[in-house]
Structure 1
Amino acid sequence: MRPTTPLALALTTALTLPLLTACGGDTGGDPDTITVVYNRSTDNKIRFKDQHLESVRDQFEKANPGKKVKLIPVQAPDNDYATKAQQMMRSAKTAPDLVYEDTFRINSDITAGYLRPLDDQLASWPDWRRFLPGAKAAARAEDGKTYGVPDGTDTRGLWFNRKIFARAGLPADWKPRTWADVLDAARQIKRRVPGVIPFNVYTGKAPGEAAVMQGFEMLLYGTGADPLYDAKAKKWVSGSPGFRDALGFVRTVYREKLGPEVSDALDPNIGTRVATEWLPEGKLAISLDGSWMGQNWINKGPKEWPDWSRELSRAPMPTQHGQAPGAVSMSGGWAWSVPARADNPDLAFSFIRTLQTAANATRWCVVAAQIAVRDDVAAARSYRTSMPGVDFFTGLVRYSHYRPALPVYPQVSTAIGEAMEAVTTGDSSPAQAARAYDESLRTITDGAVTRE
């Protein structure tokens, strides 16, 4: 259970990248055209990002006669999108002028030499003072420089179906205090409401960060004492009881058949199925999921569901034993970055400024169900009334933890996904999978680990 080696990654990239859907080839050469690479959902019905970017492109071109914006969507799961974007950024011939980056990958892409700092442009941009400190930190590297402009964040909690809960004899105002409460509710649903999936927690390698951040780390940081990375010691943590406990929770869900079928759970597109099939069709009772879920059901999303706000409710994910602070969340987000080999970096930053006018930033948070990272957006009435639950998920920010923004984190994430998959399939016990993770961690970090 070792992380992907650079050679294996290169071979995998060479084999899989031609299968990804992307528009355009050579991205450089025209000083009046900027190329913008971003991820497109694998669900062909989800086009709100395309529509938003097309609208901003039209604004930019109208305000800057003679300038053009070429949008290059990459339709792929997030891990494959990142691989494609990195491959493009390696060469001056194919590097875009602007790329959409998951903030947890920024430091690894900086280390690889793919991104350029934006501090000089940010210093003369008045809107930068509107961004919240936590959002700015998400795009700041170990060298103290900023390499991206975030456009929103997110939080995570428990979504549950009130109709299924009623049939199972569970309360409509359900608020579990411990992990045991969550599992007991799932067991009761399994007994009393056959034919539905009691509980979904994302797991395994293929779903990528949906499993690692949204599943495993939501559990790990609920144990109260065991982070992934010890910031004071500047070392990764191994031998962690909390790590084993988090894997134990995942193992219980799938051993007791409280979750989806294992083959479905390990599908890279499981998130699309949860959002567009299982929840809207009443096939899933509880999902540990994100603040953005409502975007699937409104504004001509991929699955129109007029009754979603009446059928679904939300609860915080509790800590393991109900210990303080009582709830846990993870926050992440994406940012717009300028590649180091961009042909038109200044024009690209001008496009960022258009993306981040107050009106455009607010509209993006509304259509994409993002948690605002600007104080003026957070105060906007259109944002605060945009969707049922926006106040609930905004309130979870105070419980949020963040992934270690370090260059090796993507490799650590891969090792965690492998550990999760091993316990999900039953190939390993939580203790065995945790030991295999510890071995991988020593390889990834050249031995820079500490034991709890």
Structure 2
Amino acid sequence: MPNNRNESKSRRKENEQPGHLATPCRSGILRSLDRALRGVALPTILALTGLATASVEDVQAATVKVAFSLNWTFADPKLAQKWFGNVKTEFEKKHPGDTMELIPVPGTYDDYITKLSLLYNSPDTKPDVVQYFDINVGQFAASDLLSPLDDKVADAPWWKDTPAPVQASGKYDGKIYSVAQGINTYGILFDRTLTKKAGLPKDWKPKSWNDILDGARAIKKTSPDVSPLYVITGTAQGTFGVVAGPGLLLSASSNPTIYDPETKKWVVDSKGIREVLDFYKTAASENLLAPTSQIMDPNGTTHPAQALHDHKFGITFTGNWIPLFWGKDICAPCWDDKEGTIGFSEIPTAEGQEPGIGASFNGVVLSMSKNPSDPELVWSAIEIMQAKKNLLDIAAWVAVVPATASLKTDTSYLSLTREPFQKAFAELSATSRSMPSQAEFPIWGNAFQQATQAMVLKPETTIDEGVNILRSYMATQVGEENLETLP
């Protein structure tokens, strides 16, 4: 769930505990011995080990460093600090003598990814655990910065309870490099006060993209002072905006393929890509879209919370976090009776083709960095973060759908907001697609944003010209030989 509030006030705290650097062999043995003997009387330890003359200080405690976005992932920076503070307390209680060093990184999500990359430049600043979105797993795995987790997750109950598509979103080159804490799913929210005036049914369910455009046209006629249709695009929103905007539509198109795993090439022209470009072009040319100052704003994914509350948007493509914004945990703004005013619909496929609905999803995930000084201790930290209570807090404070099947039906999650929102957005995970894990996906995403943005800013742009924007940018970045056209 994106959040950009209070970025200008955010400051990274100075580390109070320096990281411990030691040879893996010696430090690992000492720490293992230290944990094995904790709780045993000191005279007994000395007698058993013959170390009566050795200094106890030779056993050095370990520090696990955890990096996270202060301003983006959680609904509020205070919630991010609270959640990781709780994890730190649990970890240090479970491992007396060891510490967890928290590394909050301020800024937008793309700022966070840039700063995270810089942290990896030095062993003194390299984190052991990172929390980020699955759309960047390939970028860090391809740079050889992450540890494969296949052996670690094999016996984890929460991993076995994670659906296969969500598991797969953390894979790169056949190996698991991240585990999901929750996912964002996407659907349509519509204002019944506006759709009723437009003659649409109370529980409107569009069957194609033309139905959506027709609904927006009807709202424009009967409520000329509102924005009939809200769907984001634009490079200012970064990689996250691809999933919530152009990539979201592409996932419901006639051909949603972005990367062809058989040819290992990037798709830059297809029926699906052309359908998406045409949707933006049509909506823009008929003045159905919200102002570009909103749909192209870096904070574009959060605008619907206030605008729907104020009856300013008719039909909105948005994520599961918006209804949670209205709930008691986030309250931005507080809205108790939204269930009677706001309707929900799945996103239909472009022409109503099977399976009838489609969408994208992205996950909040954890990764372990390559060669941590104490892999078992780092994994223990991840296990704590994946505990039921902590994941339910993630669902409430990050505003995501739980990644595990059992938590999607847990009463604590379902009670975060009333029907239909929690259950409806959770059920979308069965028909949603993740973005490719390849390291070049952010490049492709930026190119697609450029193409759809051109359709909005200059609706006279032809579909062929839009396709050429995508192809040309990708050709300069990854090479023409790595591109292909699909039907």
TM normalised by structure 1 equals 0.88
1:288 correspondence with 2:322: no
The 10-residue stretch of structure 1 (192-201 or 65-74) with the greater mean CA deviation from structure 2: 65-74
Cα distance change, pair 316–375 in 1 and its aligned pair in 2 (3 A): closer
Structure 1 residue ranges without an equivalent (≥5): 1-17
Q: How far apart are 1:253 and its partner, in Å?
A: 2.1
Are 2:204 and 1:159 equivalent residues in the alignment?
no
Residue 237 of structure 2 aligns to a residue in which SS? coil
Aligned to 2:483: 449
The reply on whether 1:141 has 2:172 as its aligned counterpart is yes
Instruction: Give yes or no for the alignment of 1:23 onto 2:23.
Output: no
Q: Which residue of 1 aligns with 2:202?
A: 172
Contact 2:408-2:426 at 8 Å conserved across structures:
no
Distance 1:226 1:337 in 2: 27
Q: Which residue of 2 aligns with 1:228?
A: 258
2:198 and 2:297 map into 1 onto residues whose CA distance is 28
Q: d(CA) in 1 for partners of 2:371 and 2:290?
A: 44
CA contact (8 A) 1:86 1:114 kept: no
Instruction: Tell me the distance in 1 between the aligned counterparts of 2:216 and 2:359.
Output: 20
The 8 Å contact of residues 239 and 442 in structure 2, kept in 1 or not, is answered as no
Counterpart residue number, 1:316: 346
Distance 1:343 1:374, change over 3 A: same
**Structure 2: segments with no counterpart, 5+ residues:** 1-6, 21-60
1:272-351 matched pairs, under 5 angstroms: 272-275=302-305, 277-301=306-330, 302-340=332-370, 342=372, 345-351=375-381
Measured in 2, the distance between the counterparts of 1:20 and 1:74 equals 12
Q: Percent identity, please.
A: 28
- Tell me which residue corresponds to 2:67: 37
Query: 3-state DSSP class of the match of 1:131?
Result: coil
Q: Deviations over 1:347-397 (max 9, x none)?
A: 332111111112322342244342222233234332344433222122222
| Equivalent position to 2:427, from 391, 395, 399 | 395
1:343 shift after superposition: 5.3
2:282 maps to 1:252: yes
Whether contact under 8 Å (1:291, 1:370) holds in the other structure is: yes
Q: Distance in 2 between matches of 1:217 and 1:305?
A: 30
Is 2:116 the counterpart of 1:116? no
CA distance in 1, matches of 2:92, 2:154: 25
* SS state at 1:93 partner: coil
Please give the per-residue CA displacement for 1:209-248, whole angstroms capped at 9, x wherever unaligned. 4432222122223232351122333322233232122112
| Larger CA deviation: 118-127 vs 313-322 | 118-127
- In the alignment, the residues of structure 2 paired with residue 286 and residue 338 of structure 1 have an alpha-carbon distance, to the nearest angstrom, of 40
| 1:250-302 CA distance string (max 9 Å, x none) | 12222322122113322101223222x21222211221011222221113313
CA-atom RMSD in angstroms: 2.5
Judging changes above 3 Å, is the alpha-carbon distance between structure 1 residues 20 and 418 closer, same or farther for their aligned structure 2 residues? farther
Q: Does 1 or 2 have the higher relative contact order (CA < 8 Å, sep 6+)?
A: 1
SS in 2 for 1:304: coil
SS in 1 for 2:235: coil
* Closer/same/farther in 2, CA of residues 41 and 29 from structure 1, 3 Å limit: closer
Aligned residue identity for 2:241: A
Mapped partners of 2:334, 2:176: distance in 1: 39
Deviations 1:31-77 (CA, angstroms, capped at 9, x unpaired): 53333221233698564343322222222223332333333322322
Does residue 433 of structure 1 match 2:466?
A: yes
Q: Which amino acid in 2 is paired with 1:435?
A: N
Secondary structure of the corresponding residue to residue 318 of structure 1: coil
1:179 positional shift: 0.9
Aligned in 2, Cα 1:20/1:235: closer, same or farther, shift over 3 Å?
farther
Instruction: Give the secondary structure class of the aligned counterpart of 1:156.
Output: strand
Written as runs of structure 1 = structure 2, the 5 A alignment for 1:191-202 is 191-202=221-232
SS, match of residue 336 in structure 1: strand
Change in CA separation of 1:188 and 1:125 when aligned onto 2, cut-off 3 Å: closer
CA distance in 1, matches of 2:163, 2:353: 28
Alignment partner, residue 408 of structure 1: 440
2:321 maps to amino acid: W
Higher mean C-alpha displacement, 401-410 vs 216-225: 216-225
Q: Counterparts of 1:242 and 1:149 in 2: how far apart (Å)?
A: 30
Tell me what 2:90 maps to: 59
Aligned residues: 433
Q: Deviations over 1:81-115 (max 9, x none)?
A: 21121121232222122111211211111112222
Contact 2:13–2:104 (Cα < 8 Å) also in 1: no
Give distance in 1, aligned partners of 2:327 and 2:257: 36
Quote the Cα distance in structure 1 between the aligned partners of 2:9 and 2:370.
23
What one-letter code is carried by the residue in structure 2 that aligns with 1:23? R
> How far apart are the structure 1 equivalents of 2:11 and 2:77?
16
Partner of 2:99: 68
TM-score, structure 2 as length reference: 0.82
1:131 Cα offset (Å): 2.7
Query: In structure 2, do the counterparts of structure 1 residues 402 and 85 end up closer, same or farther at CA, with 3 Å as the change threshold?
Result: same
Is 1:78 aligned to residue 112 of structure 2? Answer: no
> What is the rounded CA distance, in whole Å, between the counterparts of 1:165 and 1:379 in structure 2?
31
Amino acid paired to 1:85: L
CA–CA distance in structure 2, aligned partners of residues 415 and 182 of structure 1? 25
The separation in 1 between residues aligned to 2:254 and 2:108, in whole angstroms, is 31
Q: Which moved more, 1:148-157 or 1:226-235?
A: 226-235
Give the Cα separation in 2 of the matches to 1:218 and 1:22: 33
Aligned-partner residue type, residue 146 of structure 2: L
